[in-house]
């Protein structure tokens, strides 16, 4: 087991307890949790921007400053100086899969609710209703296929 999980587990438990205490305050507690979530989102975006704008030299300099021994051979020096990273296709694959999955979830929610409403009125329409729900689920499959294609190009 990783030591990060051992250190992080009390923090996760504390966050769950704090969330339960705050939500007992009613509507104001939900606003507090939404504000904390917004702050975490802003911090995550700032960290993402910092990670995407930093080059390989910054990573090597940070590792050297932290006291980590950096061994740069002929291949890794050439790779650090002139190679391009493959983050574009991987980021595109992540966006394709995440976007299609979220879209499919929304589509299945609406189509499934409508299908249940129709089946409660006319049970003989079960097959047609499930086809529509299946088409909505297909959106996630298309995103997964695009993600696999993009990962293959990375």
The per-residue pLDDT of the chain, averaged, comes to 77
Out of 12, 32, 53, a domain closes at 53
Residues 78 and 131 in one domain: no
pLDDT (tens digit per residue) in 110-120: 999 999 999 89
Q: 0.85 exceeded by the pTM?
A: no
Residues 140 and 125 in one domain: yes
Q: List, as own/partner pairs, every contact residues 86-91 make where C-beta atoms lie below 8 angstroms and the sequence separation is at least 24, other chains included.
A: 86/154, 87/52, 89/150, 89/151, 89/153, 89/154, 90/150, 90/151, 90/154
d(CA 145, CA 151): 10
Residues 95 and 139 in one domain: yes
HSE, CB side, 13 Å, CA atoms: give it for residue 88: 3
Residues 94 and 154 in one domain: yes
**CATH of residue 108:** 1.20.20.10
Residues 92 and 152 in one domain: yes
d(CA 48, CA 54): 10
Least confident of 29-38, 102-111, 130-139: 29-38
Per-residue model confidence (pLDDT) at position 64:
52
Per-residue model confidence (pLDDT) at position 124:
92
Residues 148 and 107 in one domain: yes
Residues 78 and 26 in one domain: no
Per-residue model confidence (pLDDT) at position 104:
92
Higher pLDDT, 82 or 27: 27
Structural domain tally of the chain? 3
Residues 113 and 141 in one domain: yes
pLDDT (tens digit per residue) in 50-105: 877 876 655 555 555 555 444 444 445 445 555 566 788 888 888 889 999 999 99
Range of the domain at 131: 86-154
Reply yes or no on whether the pLDDT at 4 is more than 70: no
Residues 18 and 60 in one domain: no
Residues 63 and 94 in one domain: no
Higher pLDDT, 57 or 141: 141
Out of 66, 83, 100, a domain closes at 83
Q: Over pLDDT 90: what percentage of the chain? A: 17
35 token code pair: 């504000």
Residues 1 and 20 in one domain: yes
Residues 95 and 144 in one domain: yes
């Amino acid at each position: 087991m990783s030591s990060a999980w051992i250190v992080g587990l009390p923090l996760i438990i504390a966050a769950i307890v704090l969330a339960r205490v705050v939500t007992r305050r009613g509507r104001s507690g939900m606003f507090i949790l939404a504000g904390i979530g917004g702050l975490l989102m802003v911090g995550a975006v700032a960290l993402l921007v910092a990670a995407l704008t930093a080059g390989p030299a910054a990573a090597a300099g940070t590792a050297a400053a932290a006291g980590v021994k950096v061994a740069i051979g002929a291949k890794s020096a050439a790779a650090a100086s002139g190679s391009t990273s493959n983050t574009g296709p991987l980021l595109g694959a992540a966006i394709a899969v995440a976007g299609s999955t979220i879209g499919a979830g929304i589509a299945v929610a609406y189509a499934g609710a409508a299908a249940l409403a129709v089946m409660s009125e006319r049970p003989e329409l079960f097959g047609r209703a499930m086809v529509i729900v299946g088409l909505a689920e297909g959106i996630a499959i298309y995103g997964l296929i695009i993600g696999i294609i993009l990962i293959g190009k990375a």
